[in-house]
Amino acid sequence: MERGDLLSAACPSREVLKHMTSRWGVLVLLALEGGTLRFSALRRRIGGVSERMLAKTLHWLEGDGLVERIAHEVVPPHVEYRLTPLGREGAARVRALADWIEQSLPEIAQNW
């Protein structure tokens, strides 16, 4: 498998990009950068996510090997999510973008 080329319509990288930059994908990566979190904690941490979309987003990222799901077989269920090594790398890039936006917000907002 060779390197991707996002500017080409058919590039599979676009799928990964879609997951990582999806509305909640970004925020999940940011939230998990702080360490392992349970589903409910993750939900509380990220303002505004619905259960359904959080689950979906976690599935996408898990499918890309960026997030790892660890289920403890107990009742009531106890499930944790954490970044894989690959996920940590990706999250760092997302973090850089997020930080820049948050910091540049004052300057950006002047145009509004």
Residues that bind a second copy (CB under 8 A): 1-13, 16-18, 20-21, 23, 26-27, 30-31, 45-48, 63-66, 86, 89-90, 93-94, 96-98, 100-112
> Hey, which residues between 55 and 94 contact DNA (CB under 7 A)?
55, 57-59, 69, 71, 76-81
- The DSSP code sequence of 22-69 is SHHHHHHHHHHHT--EEHHHHHHHSTT--HHHHHHHHHHHHHTTSEEE
Q: In the complex, which residues of this chain contact DNA (CB under 7 A)? A: 22-24, 38-41, 48-53, 55, 57-59, 69, 71, 76-81
